[in-house]
Amino acid sequence: MDTFQLMRRLERDAYAKGIVVGVVPKDALLTTPTAATYPMAFVCNTDDGGEPGEHWVAVYVDRRGVGEYFDSYGLPPLHADFRAFLHRHCGDAWTYNDKRLQSGVSNVCGQYCVAYLLLRCRGMPLTTFQTLFGANRVANDCLVFDWLKPLH
């Protein structure tokens, strides 16, 4: 999914509207204001603007300023820009999903981010979201792709 497809999916949802503030490249995190209104969320590419795009991740900060970094590969924020953003907005009060959901042969990272934010904006905890997916990562990819297909 590209930037516009991701944003269109999230803008259509009444729960996500007003919480999801955008779909941005990694280098745009540096210009995010410190005094943000919470809850807030966004989808971010791990590539800088002007680059072809690498991998989509999502960030959610709840009304208390506690952050969540979501990567469908179950990795912590590897880029310094993500860690700096989380530290600026959340201090040490943030976590990430450590369960890999996505297979290495698919390109549905954007769909995982949309699914996570749609359910997170409805109050589903990150740990509960992870339990929706099993050990078969190819089946997980099909599940998230099929779940979001009707929203085209």
**Per-residue pLDDT at 150:** 65
Tell me if 67 sits within 8 A of 60, measured CB to CB: yes
Specify the pTM: 0.94
**Per-residue pLDDT at 1:** 87
User: How many domains does the chain contain in total?
Assistant: 1
How many CB atoms lie under 10 A from the CB of residue 130? 16
Domain CATH number, residue 82: 3.40.395.10
**Per-residue pLDDT at 113:** 98
**Per-residue pLDDT at 36:** 67
Q: Domain span at residue 42?
A: 3-151
Residue-level pLDDT, tens digit, the chain, 152 residues: 899 999 999 999 999 998 999 999 999 887 766 656 889 999 999 998 889 889 999 999 999 999 999 999 999 999 999 999 999 999 999 999 999 999 999 999 999 999 999 999 999 999 999 999 999 999 999 999 999 886 55
